[in-house]
Structure 1
């Protein structure tokens, strides 16, 4: 067997440095730059002699799940005496684009199609190319060699590429290998000590800044403890610094939390809906730059790599608000002609026009959540619970028969209610209390009793909000309303659940959210999506049907945030509770998983979902992505980033194996610009 000089050098490096503790830790000493300062950017460099060389070729990684990173792709051509290329990663966003343009023909073997290239060069043991990236993580100050999460390279090939890159880069003595998936990490355990490994957990632990929603706004900076939010009234025009991630927050123009967030936390989804900046910053409450601006008008900008905050004048702040305050949102007019209880399969009528039009036709009577759930229920193979819908007409009937609209008119005309948030909060609570005690129409009760006895005998039912003001483009309002469960063995418990769910339209934070968007409050109506409730699920989670850290679409994947069953909600967990977060490359060979964090409610080394459950979830998410594409995705003409935001759980009756149930899906607004 014939070994290349570079492989022999790498093996020698492993023997000579197996006990070299300085490997991956030595200080960096820049050498002579390979690229002259004024020279045009080349297609590649054979070596990187200094930081300027790296900067010239670097781009943001396709997957920015670990923030504050810049990356240069590398190609080692084993056919051509192990020649190494640091490619211009801005001009050539993927390896194939560089290789097919620069290393095909003219005496070199031809490079085939993209499909053939991907099949061979990421998985074949005798592949021509070794492919990877050198990434600099600014927060932890780490240089790392990475290969694709689905790359099946052996430890020997990883060592070979690492040795070549280490020798050709000024950062070589400090270079780590960073495994990008579970499969890569398993193989990396075979690496010699001369190839120091830096895990994703270690990188995250050293990061101070987490960009969540990329945006800029001007507001008054305020410091608030999350525990005090319920007794603190915030203005639409505040930018708030918090010690931890809150369960909820009223409308603000920007958010900074000391505690890092998950991309699908309620407060981040709200920030994305409002297009306002949102970021995590360790020790934010004590940050001297922020503290010096407490109570002042500021401009906050959250970028992919850095954040910036500067003081502005009151006049600038007023001008910004006049220019950027939300345009008034108008909802579909309620359809009160639809009465009776409708089985979920009969809520959305497809076949006439587009899927998007069919959903829009259903919303005035059944609300956004039920309309989207109906599409799920009519998708073959998706595990969706049997359900029915109470149309919005019964909410309006309840409000009219009890004189609540007249009472609202009097509230809206009260100057103290309009001007004082404390008064508004107190009066809205009084209004909700009155709703929760009011009588429910006897005819409606009889209809509901008959339906439950016929189709759901003895089962506790979940009454879920489905309004014409949620799960919609323009005003998704994630978490605005509250659902409740009723036990039919106590009929009053069922009525309590219905009334409390209807009353959640008038929660203070929800009222403020509508006011921020100049919405006519009385135009909001609520249908109820009703199904059997399982209170003790084994796992609950949220997911996106696309990779939120990859706006280019070149590094596709499914994002999943899942927690073990119990009291810890996945979207706003109690302080100190972490969940499993991972990117699932469902369409790549080997279906690799990249874990971004792990649940501390399961044993160390275990995961919330089994591999079989992850695959079951992946199939469902892929089906949902394709199903809604004619409404919101590429098949609807959307050429930008597209994903469905999905809630799910794994549950079972006692003694049975937990299986997947999809709870809802709605279009996701994206990560900002």
Structure 2
């Protein structure tokens, strides 16, 4: 806890522009008012947190700390040029990598006790809590790629403890594995002077609010408790605002979502909400709040901003009009599905036919179209084209009858969920042409010739690749299923992927966006399963780190884990990968973890692959970034004769693709 004199610090309001009444900088903090005059809200990453940027001038003795007006100076370089006009293009190398640097650059953060308190949010928005709570935290940190000698770090921290008046309440946070390792190697006397490092997971442990997608939603409030899931998801509509006790693996096109436990930032529901542009946030314990339960079944307005949320009742007519206006906007100019049923065979990824999503679906086509310098990260594969789906599925009388029944149910005559269940069952009961199965088995066998590293490889995945994804105005991510192939069940696995075109979530999503079901079709991408150490889901969208030239959000999980889980349910790790130069900033590690799944040896190559994918996806789709899946190989022996340490699984537009 900070000294008593700090307990009266004012909450720092968000300030959009520099205020001339605020001091440009201070060389010492003498209490709460001086902190308030400089601090700026950190934003969505840590709701309620306040930050002050610091420059320590080490050109002469004694060193001089500058606590900056962080609205005015959002980048250290601007203030450094004020102190020394000779600061030039070598700034990054000199200020972060050199022991002869003139300045040490840091950021100081205050996370108030009770930040993002949920009861206050329901009452009408989050405000910063007053200092003095038992879980309040203060820390200082450097850029994660900074290589300042560990002994000098200790001296800087001691200087700031004195200049801030916080003493031992001010901790140091190691922002990367490299910094942590070097500090842990300090002699015992210096380790004692530095004090315990701030635990990565401890920063986020007290955060009760998490903003995923900002916006406003109207609808009838549905509260789904643990015993309601997952069955309760089936009856949801675009007229529902949902508060869920846990993070569902999937959710239909609802108006807005609040989960009562943290989400992984790239969980399926987070990706779906981002693609739809519907508000999504996590508020710990939201389903049990009396204020929320009192609104259950009523028409409400949900507001989600980067740092707060609110839920309030509205008139039914107002809510319905807002929902209908949103649906009309979603359906305006709905994309037309295109499919090519003339192309048969099993086109390989390196064949021209595989570049056409009308033939092989969006996922396979994206991998086939990769620029030459990215193809080396692609493993071999071939597609069962949409023509095979049409020939097997749409010509079956039972399926034709159920599709007609689905049209009537969509018009209000019958249960859509019940018809879809029977439709999937009918597809799974079809017979598959033995010639097609033989062709697939032969294609798997040909991997021996195309890529000797997969000789005798029998672990195969059948990946859904529909023509209903990555369309103008419609993302369609995560709506169908991919399955691993066990020995002897090829027909069953293939039918399972085909049937997943008609899951509740996929059909309702397409209907909400006004996409006609008639031309929907499923191709299947067949590829080997690659042994790996970590699975990476990355987002390269604008705004991942405001002001950064290239910064990518990475969610890493050990082999076998899924990003669809709630935060903390698996040993996930979240990083920001910077490009000035390549450096991974640790945002969160699972509790109890201290080792990174992203080794230093892979930083440069991972950064380079993400940058190339990002530029290629933006140029081809008009999207604001890319959604990328990678596998990190533990060592070359994981995939013998594979000459790169990464495998590129998927590269698609992030969010809604532009028209």
Q: What TM-score, normalized to structure 1?
A: 0.81
Instruction: Give runs of aligned pairs for residues 287-302 of structure 1, distance below 5 A.
Output: 287-302=289-304
**Are the counterparts in 2 of residues 210 and 280 from structure 1 also a CA contact under 8 Å?**
yes
**Separation in 2 of the partners of 1:84 and 1:458?**
60
Deviations 1:8-37 (A, max 9, x none): xxxxxxxxxxxxxx7x5656156999xxx9
2:120 aligned partner: none
**Are the counterparts in 1 of residues 56 and 63 from structure 2 also a CA contact under 8 Å?**
yes
Alpha-carbon offset, residue 338 of structure 1: 2.3
**Separation in 2 of the partners of 1:666 and 1:388?**
18
2:339 aligned partner: 334
Instruction: Give runs of aligned pairs for residues 156-235 of structure 1, distance below 5 A.
Output: 156-169=151-164, 174-189=169-184, 190=186, 191-193=191-193, 197-232=197-232, 233-235=235-237
2:348 aligned partner: 343
Deviations 1:567-618 (A, max 9, x none): xx32124896322313254534583451512377xxx544556554x44xx5
Alpha-carbon offset, residue 453 of structure 1: 4.8
Using a 3 Å threshold, how does the CA distance of structure 1 residues 119 and 72 change in structure 2: closer, same or farther? same
> Which of the residues 603, 624, 644 maps onto 2:627?
644
> Which of the residues 79, 84, 102 maps onto 2:65?
84
2:54 aligned partner: 74
> Which of the residues 368, 373, 379 maps onto 1:374?
368
**Are the counterparts in 2 of residues 216 and 276 from structure 1 also a CA contact under 8 Å?**
yes
- Which is further off, 537-546 or 197-206? 537-546
The answer on 1:661 being equivalent to 2:647 is yes
**Separation in 2 of the partners of 1:197 and 1:607?**
17
Deviations 1:390-449 (A, max 9, x none): 22122122233213663245213435x64388x322221111111112233466456445
1:430 aligned partner: 422
**Are the counterparts in 2 of residues 331 and 524 from structure 1 also a CA contact under 8 Å?**
no
Equivalent residues, number: 609
**Are the counterparts in 2 of residues 298 and 310 from structure 1 also a CA contact under 8 Å?**
yes
Structure 2, unaligned runs of 5 or more: 12-17, 116-134, 449-455
Alpha-carbon offset, residue 334 of structure 1: 1.4
**Are the counterparts in 2 of residues 345 and 378 from structure 1 also a CA contact under 8 Å?**
no
Alpha-carbon offset, residue 91 of structure 1: 3.0
Using a 3 Å threshold, how does the CA distance of structure 1 residues 205 and 448 change in structure 2: closer, same or farther? closer
**Separation in 1 of the partners of 2:19 and 2:585?**
42
Using a 3 Å threshold, how does the CA distance of structure 1 residues 246 and 433 change in structure 2: closer, same or farther? same
Q: Secondary structure at the match of 1:648?
A: strand
1:19 aligned partner: none
**Separation in 1 of the partners of 2:413 and 2:613?**
46
Q: Secondary structure at the match of 1:211?
A: strand
**Separation in 2 of the partners of 1:122 and 1:653?**
32
1:440 aligned partner: 432
**Separation in 2 of the partners of 1:389 and 1:458?**
18
Alpha-carbon offset, residue 653 of structure 1: 11
CA RMSD, aligned part only?
3.6
Using a 3 Å threshold, how does the CA distance of structure 1 residues 304 and 52 change in structure 2: closer, same or farther? farther
2:111 aligned partner: 137
1:563 aligned partner: 557
Alpha-carbon offset, residue 512 of structure 1: 1.2
**Separation in 2 of the partners of 1:555 and 1:59?**
21
**Separation in 2 of the partners of 1:49 and 1:458?**
67
1:632 aligned partner: 618
**Separation in 2 of the partners of 1:121 and 1:556?**
19
**Separation in 2 of the partners of 1:436 and 1:661?**
32
1:14 aligned partner: none
- Which is further off, 368-377 or 431-440? 368-377
> Which of the residues 531, 538, 541 maps onto 2:535?
541
1:97 aligned partner: 78
**Separation in 2 of the partners of 1:45 and 1:129?**
16
**Are the counterparts in 1 of residues 534 and 597 from structure 2 also a CA contact under 8 Å?**
no
2:268 aligned partner: 266
**Separation in 2 of the partners of 1:159 and 1:30?**
29
Q: What TM-score, normalized to structure 2?
A: 0.82
The answer on 1:477 being equivalent to 2:476 is yes
1:15 aligned partner: none
The answer on 1:236 being equivalent to 2:202 is no
**Separation in 2 of the partners of 1:156 and 1:30?**
34
1:462 aligned partner: 461
Q: Secondary structure at the match of 2:507?
A: helix
**Are the counterparts in 1 of residues 613 and 626 from structure 2 also a CA contact under 8 Å?**
no
